[in-house]
Amino acid sequence: MKTTGEDTAGILTWEAGRPRSDRVPRDGGAREWHGPGFRWRRRAPRGQRWRWALWSVLLPPPERWRLRPTMPGALLGALALAIGAAAYNTANNILFITLSVLLSCLLLSAVLAWLNFRGLRWRLRGQATLRAGAEDTVTAEVRNDKRRLPSYSLWFELETAGEPQRAGLRERLDPGGCAEIEWRVRPVRRGRLRLELAAAGSVFPFGFLRQTVGIGQTQEVPVWPAATAYQWVGGSAGWRPQAGEQRAPYGPRGGDLRAVRRYAPGDPQRVVHWKASARVRRLLVREFVAEREEGLLLWLQTAAERWPRPEQFELLCSLAATLAEDLFHAGRLRAVAVDGEPAATVRRAGDVEAFLDRLAVLEPAAGLALSEGAHAARRGRMTFAPDGARGVVAYVDGTKTATA
């Protein structure tokens, strides 16, 4: 990873040179660089700054810069108090000198701590998604914009669902250098998870003071349903991906060539018919028979009457998500639909991800009629129904195909 340019206003253009960064962040705010003291400056209105400063001493806002003594710092403070008491009690200038040196050391510590944080910028890297029950990595980027001074001993705190996790830089961050800090996150359930880069801190330089800078940079990430094991019972009614089989999500969907049509956004590059495109000077893609005829419509009906048990509804979401991914990888997923909404055609991985995003926040729809709905007449539709008290079964055109 490297920085490719910086506009002169201090906002950076970040080029993602690695596959992880190709994902488009769902939260634009998470891409913004933050640094020490940004928020406070913004929020203090003119004419009230002194009042703000005074009040913030008594009731420091969470994003304020805070200095708290560590155990050695408290020891030093106690030592300074004892020496100060002895100095005043005896008017001994040797003790006053010692007291002065101790106080100056504390001051120097605070100055170096400020220098250490000066010119630092950090941000949460745009996190695309997480999956319930699966461990994933959340990354923050930190850069040192100082010209000459490195920064040391930094740590950052990530809060996920109210649980803080701390990760630190073990090495020096050179001037102009960048670093990534990673946390391992395992969401428990689907939904939207709030990631908050809560604070940055350090005990540099002498370990007397623990300085903390509140950040409060948040990002909401959809948590896809957990992958679930299912049993494929559909036989020829569908296609069950075999273990170890090569998946080609972006490759040709198989089958005979049916036609050549104009390129539509989302079509994979591998289906582009280059010769035909060159001939007509327009981008054309190949369309296969299987794509048109053998694909399935994955139709999810979420009526609360059908799914009265929350755990069964969760299983429905997990099964639907798993099947959607598997069918897409097998090139058998044509479209997806939820309740009476129009079916969304699935051409690329992004379409499946959008469906999984939808599944992340899907809730049983109260008051929805248990009718076949808009897609009842379509061929090749996969529907779901409860299977006993706990299970879920998937049907393709009324034929039992998969159970979980």
Partner 1 sequence: MWTEPKRPRLNLAELHQLRWLLGTLLAALSAWTVPDMGIDAWGWLALITVAAPVMLWRPAWSTRLPGWAHRLAFPVILGLAAVDCRLDPGRVLPALVRLTLMLLLYRMVTARKRRDDLQVIVLGLFLVVVAGVLSVSVVFVLQILAFTACALLFLLTITLADTAGGAAEAPAEWARVRWLVLARRVRAVANWYVVLLGGGLFVGLVAVSSIVFIFLPRFEFENSLFLSRLVQGKSKTGFSETVSLGAVTDIQNDPGIAFNVDVSDRAQVPATPYWRMLVLDDYFAPGQFRISSALMGTLRVTPDKTTRFLGTERRPRAGASTWTVYFEPGISKYLPLPGRFGQLMFAEQQEPFNGNAELGVVALSRPPTRMLAYQLDELDLTTPPTEPVGETDESGEPRSAPKNPDYLDLGLLVKNDERTIWLDKMTAEIAAPMSTPEDFARRACAWLERRHLTAMQVANEPAEGLPTDTIVRWLAGTQPGHCEYFAGAFVLLARAAGFPARMIVGFKGGKWNSHSENLVVRNSDAHAWAEIYDAKKNAWLRVDPTPGADVFGSLTGGRRGEAALQAMTDTRFGARFDSLRVFWYRRIVSFGQDTQVRLATAVQQVFEGWGRGLKDYLREKRVQFRAWFAQPWDWRRLAWGAGGVMLLLVGARWWRTGRLAWLRRRGADPIRREAGRWLARLAAGDGADAVTLRGSLERLRYGAAPTWPDPAKIFRAARRVAARPRAAGGSGLASPG
CB-nearer residue toward partner 1: 149 or 304: 149
Minimum distance from CB of 75 to partner 1 (Å)?
7
Q: Which is nearer to partner 1, 180 or 397 (CB)?
A: 180
For residue 148, the SS3 value is coil
Binding site for partner 1 (CB under 8 A): 6-11, 42, 44-47, 72, 75, 79, 83, 88-101, 103-105, 107-108, 111-112, 148-150, 152-153, 167-182, 203-208
The 10 Å CB-count burial string (b at 16+, else e) for 173-200 is: beeeebbebebebebeebbebebbbbbb
CB of 152 to partner 1, least distance (A): 6
Pick from 33, 49, 30: which is nearest to 41 by CA?
Answer: 49
C-alpha span between 166 and 267 (Å, rounded): 42
Minimal distance in Å, beta carbon 274 to partner 1?
36
List for the chain the helix, strand, coil content (%; round to 5): 30, 30, 40
Nearer to partner 1, 217 or 302 (CB): 217
Among left, alpha and beta (phi > 0; psi -120 to 50; other), residue 103 is alpha
CB of 150 to partner 1, least distance (A): 7
The amino acid at residue 351 is D
Residue 90 token pair? 């005896």
Q: Is 93 helix (H, G, I), strand (E, B) or coil?
A: helix
CB of 206 to partner 1, least distance (A): 4
Is the Cβ of residue 166 or residue 262 nearer to partner 1 in the bound state? 166
Minimum distance between the CB of residue 304 and partner 1, rounded to whole angstroms?
39
Q: Which is nearer to partner 1, 149 or 344 (CB)?
A: 149
Centre a 10 Å sphere on the Cβ of residue 377 and count the other Cβ atoms it contains. 8
Between 183 and 307, name the residue whose CB sits nearer to partner 1.
Answer: 183
The DSSP result for 325-386, as a single string, is: HHHHHTT-EEEEEETTSPPEE--SHHHHHHHHHHHHT---BTT---S--TTTT-SSEEEEEE
Tell me how far apart the alpha carbons of residues 355 and 320 are, in angstroms, rounded to a whole number. Answer: 10
Report how far residue 176's alpha carbon sits from residue 150's, in angstroms, rounded to the nearest whole number. 9
Nearer to partner 1 by Cβ, of 33 and 224: the residue is 33
Q: Is 258 helix (H, G, I), strand (E, B) or coil?
A: strand
Give the separation between CA 8 and CA 109, rounded to whole angstroms.
32
Instruction: Output the smallest distance, CB 400 to partner 1, in A.
Output: 49
- In the complex, the smallest distance separating the C-beta of residue 172 from partner 1, rounded to whole angstroms, is 6
Cβ proximity to partner 1: between 104 and 231 the closer is 104
Collapsing DSSP to helix, strand or coil, 313 comes out as helix
Which CB, 15 or 372, lies closer to partner 1?
Answer: 15
CB of 90 to partner 1, least distance (A): 4
